Amino acid sequence: MRYFSIRALQKALFIPTSASSLALFRISFGLVMAWEMYRFLSEGKVDYYFVEPVFHFKYLGFAWLEPWPRLWMYGHFYALLALALCIAAGLLYRFSALLFGLGYTYIFLLDQAQYQNHYYLICLISFLLVCIPAHRSLSLDARLFSTPQTTVPTWALWLLRAQMGLVYFYGGVAKLNADWLSGWPLRQWLPNTVYLPPFTHLLDTMVAAYLFSYTGLLIDLAAFPLLVWRRTRPYMLGTLILFHFMNSQLFGIGAFPYLGVALTLLFLPADWPRHLFNWPIDHPTHTDHATTLDRRAARFTLVLLASYLAVQALLPLRHWLYPGNVSWTEEGHRFAWHMKLRDKECEATFLLVEPTNGERWLVDPGKYLTERQHNKMINRPYMIAQFAHFLSARERRPEDGPIAVYARVSCSLNSRAYFPLVDPNVDMAQAHYGLETAEWILALPPAQVGAIYPQ
């Protein structure tokens, strides 16, 4: 029975299906990425994010990665723009997708302060496209170098569907926490982010906060199953398009709403663009080899697909390995699709002490960090420790010994009272930050967890 199930799954995943929706996604992804690169170039983000900062917050294992000089950094973004257009056109598709994936991942890894969930998603999709034959139809490669093919193996579509399904699902699971179920942080954000003059007073109520919070929760949790079920798919699709549009207006999150819509449209029947645009109906051709792939190669493909999806399914759960509230400690928060779940307001000072003579002085983080870097750093303990290491080395004078750095950081999570985030008595220049639990992160007091907020 087990053998039969594996064989049945293998057969189902390698059945040829229309290549048109995958081709349309490739075009959409390339155009959205080209627009995203243009936005970085035209809005001064290349300078602000990568050229101007004196210090960059590095990811574990990537401390060696450094930004290009200014001219080369601009050239890097122009190259990414050109590669995105090549992906859209299907020109040297796999090579273009690989170079784009590597180039985009490089800028993603340069600074943790620039982390966004959709930047991570773009990295993943870029490399998935290298493996997916999205260039068989409506591409220059198909016209110039081979015979156009009208089908792709079904697994190519389901891999992208599963990736987006995981984003929706874990985005919903992350909302199953006391704060979100109590209407926070949307109660803080709605009156300040939504401009609807006749209804502004209504947004500053718990009713609106509960409505938006529970609607977002239900949409995320229900998205994948209701998109897969044919009868509910049109309603869920319309809901999600409206959902992404509202997010783009509320939060200004760049390319993610458009990328989200493009990925969600993949849940429609694979040949829907041909029906919409009256293209010729797809039929497998003699060049379509999805069903003639030898058994060993098919099994190897299944192992790779299962391994990738297993990692993507397990990675968002790692925060359960750490004690405390993940929105407070931030341990395991990234790469887990925790999106817009908390509002953290923090105040921080950095006291430096020269141990040999006891000299003390304060350092303004703005001396080394941009405003964005500073705002991200002061509420993320691992970035506080990394900055303390930098300060100790940067402020040290040749005649002095190692300089101790003490961080006085107090934060308010979702309108709670302010409370110290890191131990003020620990020399953060000696604090270790890695994959293990950081003992110098102070827990949110039990009385603060799930506290009742003033009305």
144 & 201 share domain: no
181 in the same domain as 124 = no
Position 79 pLDDT exceeds 70: yes
Q: Say if 91 falls within a structural domain.
A: yes
Q: Are residues 230 and 329 in the same domain?
A: yes
Residue 356 DSSP symbol:
T
Q: Tell me, what amino acid is at 454? A: P
Residue 433: per-residue pLDDT: 86
The pLDDT tens digits of the residues spanning 387-413 come to 999 999 888 776 667 889 999 999 999
Q: List pLDDT tens digits, range 162-179.
A: 999 999 999 999 999 989
Q: With respect to residue 377, please indicate whether it lies within any of the assigned structural domains.
A: yes
Q: Is residue 455 part of a domain?
A: no
Q: What confidence score (pLDDT) does residue 291 get?
A: 47
216/278 same-domain check: yes
Choose the final residue of a domain: 120, 149, 178: 149
For residues 175 and 322, membership in a common domain is answered with yes
Same domain, 116 and 211: no
Task: Please compute the mean of the pLDDT values over residues 120-133 and round it to a whole number.
Answer: 96
Same domain, yes or no: 355 and 432? yes
In a domain, 412, yes or no: yes
Of 92, 100, 132, the C-alpha closest to 36 is 100
Confidence (pLDDT) at 455: 33
Asked if 179 contacts 185 with a C-beta cutoff of 8 angstroms, the reply is yes
**Domain carrying residue 162:** 158-292+317-338
Note whether 262 and 189 are same-domain residues: yes
Q: Is residue 237 part of a domain?
A: yes
User: Is the model's pLDDT at 240 over the cut of 80?
Assistant: yes
- pLDDT category at 382 given cuts 50, 70, 90 is very high
Is the pLDDT reported for residue 81 higher than 80?
yes
The yes-or-no verdict on residue 140 having pLDDT over 60 is yes
Residues 176 and 191 in one domain: yes
pLDDT attached to residue 293: 59
pLDDT tens profile 197-234: 555 555 667 787 888 889 999 999 999 999 999 999 99
**First vs last Cα of the chain: how many Å apart?**
59
Q: Are residues 104 and 184 in the same domain?
A: no
Residue 416 or 149, more confident: 416
pLDDT tens-digit series, residues 266-322 = 999 988 888 776 665 544 444 444 445 577 778 888 889 999 999 999 999 999 999
Looking at the structure, do residues 444 and 355 belong to the same domain, yes or no? yes
Tell me what pLDDT residue 359 has: 86
Domain membership of residue 143 (yes or no) is yes
108 and 217 in a single domain? The answer is: no
Q: Where are the alpha helices (DSSP H) in 174-294?
A: 178-181, 186-193, 200-203, 206-228, 233-251, 256-264, 272-276
| Separation CA 207–CA 209 (nearest Å) | 5
pLDDT of residue 451: 46
Chain mean pLDDT for the chain:
87
Of 149, 181, 215, which closes a domain?
149
Q: How many distinct structural domains can be found in the chain?
A: 3
Answer whether residue 372 is part of any domain: yes
Please indicate, yes or no, if residue 24 is contained in any of the structural domains: yes
